Amino acid sequence: MARCASCDYKWSIRDIWSLGFSKGGKPCPNCGKTQYISGKTQKIFTLGYLSLLFTIVLPFIITLSNVQEDLYD
């Protein structure tokens, strides 16, 4: 399950799903620091139609970052 990169707070599945649909990140429910989906996780989910298969496992493999990372760095 995803954890905050600042305070190591364990995010709920609902919070992770809302972060997945947010372009500007989402504040951590515990410390308030804005969290973003890490570049590594973004690359996994840009596989086109295969990404639909991964939506079920999203909450279990997502990693968070304190900074917004570009997809192709």
- The whole-angstrom separation of Cα 57 and Cα 55 is 5
| pLDDT of amino acid 63 | 75
pLDDT in tens, 6-44: 999 999 988 888 887 777 889 999 999 999 888 877 776
Q: What is the pTM of this model?
A: 0.63
| Mean pLDDT of the region 47-54 | 55
**Residue given tokens 């496992």 in the structure block:** 57
**What pLDDT is recorded for position 72?**
59
Which is more confident, 11 or 67?
A: 11
What is the pLDDT at residue 66? 83
Secondary structure element (H or E) that encloses residue 35, with its range: strand 34-37
